[in-house]
């Protein structure tokens, strides 16, 4: 005889894993997480619906089996059998007849439980197999490769735009600083129509008319001026400085606009990449769900195996059969949590 009287011989059940898997699938569905991969999103929607439907069906099947076991009356039959076997109030013939009747009644009830457990086994097996057969392949390798190549291009462009921005900002600061210096009374008098040449600035510094710091500011602006306005014979008009500032500001605005657009594209592709990388979580959730339903199935199979052993046992095993039922009912209640 090999009757089970301990939960230790049943595989451990983790119904939280089933709930977590269902929660992940439901979240992916509600957020349209894989909307950019329509085929995968459709399969996840189907998987979520199947998970919820099968989850409810699993609980229903388990509860029906639990009710069948609970209503089998094996505990009462075992108690009556023991009471009758120890009784001195009846003749041996009556006792033997009564014990025989209880024995056959227990076998009948046990067979009824086995039949129901087999129905449950088949139902749980079908739930497991149907969901396990659900394909979550995204068939989007080419799209993902294209996204990856686009990301590399966009990141390279972002680096280039950032370098451009830093240069434009530096140029603009230099031009504005020179504009401020040249806006003083001295320089307004000196540069009514034309900006000073580098040689003129050096001369004014050498005779101590212009501070060296101011001269450096003007010299730097003159070096960068030609990048924004056309100079004739290296000579610039006074208005050229304002034009250069305006053009530099325009370039900075255009740079900012392009960078924002580029960054938005990067964010979209990066989000898609991260969602694809999270795809493994879906596969893991599916495996967890199938694994835990498989554990429930294994528990039912173990219960069936032991019940069939009890079918060939002597009547004195009736109490152990009742303990076996109680142990299995305790396991089944975990499924409803």
Most confident of 37-41, 219-223, 255-259: 255-259
Over the stretch 209-222, which tens digit does the pLDDT of each residue have?
778 887 788 888 88
Q: What is the pLDDT of residue 1?
A: 46
Q: Cβ–Cβ contacts within 10 Å for residue 205, how many?
A: 18
| Residues 122/302, Cβ–Cβ less than 8 Å | no
Over the stretch 101-136, which tens digit does the pLDDT of each residue have?
988 898 999 999 999 999 999 999 999 999 999 888
Over the stretch 40-54, which tens digit does the pLDDT of each residue have?
899 899 999 999 999
Using the predicted structure, report yes or no on whether residue 335 has a pLDDT greater than 90.
Answer: no
In this structure, what are the phi and psi dihedrals at residue 232, rounded to the nearest 5 degrees?
-105, 115
Using the predicted structure, report yes or no on whether residue 65 has a pLDDT greater than 70.
Answer: yes
Q: Please, which pLDDT band fits residue 315 given cuts at 50, 70 and 90?
A: low
Over the stretch 69-107, which tens digit does the pLDDT of each residue have?
999 999 899 889 888 888 888 888 888 899 889 888 989
d(CA 288, CA 179): 69
d(CA 336, CA 58): 9
Q: What is the pLDDT of residue 187?
A: 74
Q: What is the pLDDT of residue 119?
A: 97
| Residues 201/285, Cβ–Cβ less than 8 Å | no
Q: Is this model's pTM higher than 0.85 or not? A: no
- Chain centroid, CA 152 distance in Å: 24
How many residues in the chain? 337
Question: Which domains does the chain possess?
Answer: 7-139+281-335 (1.20.1050), 144-272 (no CATH)
From the number of C-beta atoms within 10 Å of its C-beta (0-12, 13-18, 19+), residue 185 rates as: exposed
Q: Please, which pLDDT band fits residue 234 given cuts at 50, 70 and 90?
A: low
């Amino acid at each position: 005889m090999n009757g089970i009287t301990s939960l230790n011989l049943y595989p451990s059940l983790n119904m939280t894993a089933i709930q977590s898997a269902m929660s992940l699938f439901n979240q992916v569905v509600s957020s349209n997480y894989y909307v950019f991969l329509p085929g995968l999103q459709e399969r996840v929607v189907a998987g979520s619906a199947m998970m919820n439907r099968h989850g409810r069906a699993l609980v229903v099947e388990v509860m029906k089996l639990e009710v069948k076991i609970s209503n089998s009356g094996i505990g009462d039959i075992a108690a009556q059998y023991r009471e009758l076997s120890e009784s001195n109030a009846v003749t041996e013939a009556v006792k033997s007849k009564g014990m025989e009747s209880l024995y056959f009644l227990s076998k009948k009830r046990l067979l009824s439980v086995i039949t129901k457990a087999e129905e449950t086994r088949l139902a749980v097996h079908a739930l497991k197999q149907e969901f396990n057969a659900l394909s979550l392949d995204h068939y989007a390798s080419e799209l993902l490769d294209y996204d990856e190549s686009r990301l590399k291009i966009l990141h390279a462009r972002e680096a280039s735009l950032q370098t451009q921005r830093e240069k434009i900002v530096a140029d603009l600061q230099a031009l504005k600083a020179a504009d401020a210096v040249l806006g003083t009374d001295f320089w307004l008098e000196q540069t009514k129509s034309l900006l000073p040449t580098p040689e003129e600035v050096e001369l004014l510094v050498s005779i101590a008319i212009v501070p060296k710091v101011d001269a450096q500011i003007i010299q730097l602006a003159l070096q960068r001026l030609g990048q924004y306005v056309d100079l004739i014979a290296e000579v610039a008009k006074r208005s050229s400085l304002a034009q250069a500032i305006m053009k530099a500001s325009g370039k900075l605005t255009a740079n900012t606009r392009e960078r924002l657009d580029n960054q938005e594209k990067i964010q979209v592709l990066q989000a898609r990449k991260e969602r694809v990388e999270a795809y493994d979580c879906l596969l893991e959730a599916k495996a967890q769900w199938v694994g835990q339903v498989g554990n429930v199935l294994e528990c039912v199979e173990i219960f069936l195996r032991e019940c069939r052993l009890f079918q060939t046992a002597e009547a004195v095993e009736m109490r152990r059969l009742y303990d076996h039922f109680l142990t299995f009912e305790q396991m089944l209640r975990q499924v409803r949590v």
